[in-house]
Structure 1
Amino acid sequence: MLTYIARRLAIGLLMLVALSMLVFVLLRLAPGDPIDAYINPNVAMSQAEMAALRARLGFDQPLPIQYLAWLRAAVTGDLGYSIQKNGVKVLPLVLERVGPTVLLMFLALVIAIVGGIAAGIISAVQRNSATDVGCSVAAFVGISSPPFLTAILGLYVFSVVLRWSPSGGMLTPGTPFSLSDLLSHLVLPACLLSIGHAALIMRYMRASLLEVLNQDYVRTARAKGVKELWVIIKHATRNALLPVVTLIGSSIGMAVGGAIFMESVFNWPGMGLLLVNAVDTRDYPVIMGATLIIGACVILVNILTDVAYALVDPRIRVA
């Protein structure tokens, strides 16, 4: 197991380097000159001053040299300085946004996992019933709804029309911190973010459980007189969870993309909002730093998901 984890970590490190290289190149290939982001448009600069600034920032070097210089600094934890925030270091700027994003994604995934698995079990047990049809229709609608549309509609219905939830932010400005205030701001974006993932988990759980319920060992348990509820919980559900665990691991990466839309719409102070603002202002160091941290988190979660396979199904042994 330790050898497998070490091998996956090494592969994950190579993937992270490849990701940073791809983002670095794409940023440099974007229209416009990167030096423009460092120049105050209200202050006139001569060509000599611009050339000196370009040389100081390393933009006069070939692209591979620029990337290697950034990578050498990133390995030591130096991700540079934000352009738009008066020289604030990128690493602490990104890390202070990790907490809100993790909180939002964690609650959304908990809602999606609990709700999706429960709906999948109910739908499979009551196959072809009105409940099954209703759950399937709801799942198809959830899968088909893009996160940005879900966020905008949810904000309009629950915050503007019904006024059940605050329209944005993480806390109410000017009031002392309280858990109830935090939850009132958190619940709506978390529920909206969980819709698509819950729908996918429900479909996977239903299909997997239907397949398991037709296995010989389930019929044997029923023939021995085991109660149906115990058959479903002990014998069927655990063995049906393996594809769902796979989906949950991949959902972390997809939740990052959805969180970017949710944080933008609800002004949630996480990494997604930071990344959107950095792209809007062409803050290259922040874009690179946020992408690196997000990529590292996604890769780490995928490794943990692979290790969890053996815990969910004892028949699996990591090769």
Structure 2
Amino acid sequence: MLGFLARRTATGLLMLVALSVLIFGLLRLTPGDPIDAYINPSVPMSTSDLAVLRDRLGLDQPLPVQYFAWARAAISGDFGYSIQRSGIPVLPLVMDRVGPTALLMGAGLVIAIVVGVAAGIVSAVRRNAWPDISMSVLSFVGISSPPFLSALLGLYFFSVLLGWAPSGGMQTPGAPYSLLDVLGHLILPAVLLSIGHAALIMRYMRASLLEVLNQDYVRTARAKGVKEFWVIVKHATRNALLPVITLIGSTIGIAVGGAIFLESVFNWPGMGLLLVNAVSTRDYPVIMGATLVIGACVIFVNLLTDVAYAFVDPRIQVS
């Protein structure tokens, strides 16, 4: 297990390096001059002043030199300073947003897993009956609904039209901190984030469970007189969860994209909103820092997913 973790950690570090190179190169390929983000357009600057500023920021160096200078500082925890936030260090700024995003994504994924697995089991057990047909229709609708459409429709119906949930933010402005207040603001974006993932998990769980229910050991358990409830829960569901675990791990990255839309719509103070604002203001250091932190989180979750295989199915050996 330790050797497996070491190899996967090394692979994850290489992926982070590749991600940093890709993002750094793409940012430099965007239209415009990076120096424009550092100057006030209303304040005229001479050519010599621009040259001095470019030299101080290292923007007059070749791209490989610029990247290695940034990477050398990033390894020590220095991701630079935000351009648009009066020189605030990037790393504390990004880490302050990790908690709200983790809360939103964690709540959304928990809802998606619970609802998706339960609906998949019911749909497989009641195959071709009305629960299966209705859940299949709902799952296709959920899979086909893009996150921004679900967010806008959910905001309009449940916040504006019905007034059942707050329309944005993480807590009520001016009110003292309250866990119930945070949960009240969390429930709607978390449910909306879970829709597509729950639908996808339901489809995978249904297909996997139907395949497992036709295995010989399930028929043997039934022939021995084991109650149908325990046949489903103890013998079939555990083995049917393997493809679902794979799906959950691979959808973390997709959930990040959905969280970016939801945080923008609901003004949720997380990584997504920070990244959107950084892109709109061309805050390059924040874009680099936020992207790397998100990438590290996705790689870490995928590592946990691989380790979870061994606990769900003892036949799988990690090596």
Q: TM-score range by the shorter chain?
A: over 0.9
Tell me what 1:249 maps to. 249
CA–CA distance in 1 between the matches of 2:101 and 2:94? Answer: 11
CA–CA distance in 2 between the matches of 1:20 and 1:133? Answer: 46
**TM-score with structure 2 length normalisation?**
0.99
Letter in structure 1 aligned against 2:302: N
Tell me what 1:117 maps to. 117
Structural mapping, 1:179-190, within 5 Å: 179-190=179-190
Tell me what 2:17 maps to. 17
Structure 1 segments of 4 or more deviating over 3 A? none
CA–CA distance in 1 between the matches of 2:240 and 2:101? Answer: 30
Tell me what 2:103 maps to. 103
Tell me what 2:89 maps to. 89
Compute the displacement of 1:64 (Å): 0.5
Letter in structure 2 aligned against 1:164: W
CA–CA distance in 2 between the matches of 1:11 and 1:317? Answer: 19
Q: Secondary structure at the match of 2:202?
A: helix
CA–CA distance in 1 between the matches of 2:263 and 2:38? Answer: 27
Question: Per-residue CA shift, 1:50-107, capped at 9, x if unaligned?
Answer: 0000000000000000000000000000000000000000000000000000000000
Is it true that 1:162 corresponds to 2:162 in the alignment? yes
Letter in structure 1 aligned against 2:23: V
Compute the displacement of 1:149 (Å): 0.6
Tell me what 1:26 maps to. 26
CA–CA distance in 1 between the matches of 2:162 and 2:103? Answer: 25
5+ long unaligned stretches in structure 2: none
Tell me what 2:73 maps to. 73
Letter in structure 1 aligned against 2:67: Y
CA–CA distance in 2 between the matches of 1:222 and 1:153? Answer: 46
CA–CA distance in 1 between the matches of 2:164 and 2:155? Answer: 10
Q: Secondary structure at the match of 1:23?
A: helix
- The CA RMSD over aligned residues, in Å, is 0.5
Tell me what 1:236 maps to. 236
Tell me what 1:227 maps to. 227
Compute the displacement of 1:128 (Å): 0.3
**TM-score with structure 1 length normalisation?**
0.99
Letter in structure 1 aligned against 2:282: R
Tell me what 1:206 maps to. 206
CA–CA distance in 1 between the matches of 2:144 and 2:65? Answer: 44
Compute the displacement of 1:44 (Å): 1.0
Tell me what 1:216 maps to. 216
CA–CA distance in 2 between the matches of 1:3 and 1:307? Answer: 12
CA–CA distance in 2 between the matches of 1:170 and 1:100? Answer: 8
Is it true that 1:36 corresponds to 2:32 in the alignment? no
Tell me what 2:55 maps to. 55
CA–CA distance in 2 between the matches of 1:126 and 1:286? Answer: 50
CA–CA distance in 2 between the matches of 1:102 and 1:289? Answer: 17
- Percent of matched pairs sharing the same residue: 77
CA–CA distance in 1 between the matches of 2:140 and 2:67? Answer: 43
Letter in structure 1 aligned against 2:223: A
Q: Secondary structure at the match of 2:251?
A: helix
CA–CA distance in 2 between the matches of 1:268 and 1:223? Answer: 54
Q: What is the number of equivalent residue pairs in this alignment?
A: 319
Compute the displacement of 1:42 (Å): 1.4
Compute the displacement of 1:250 (Å): 1.0
Compute the displacement of 1:279 (Å): 0.1
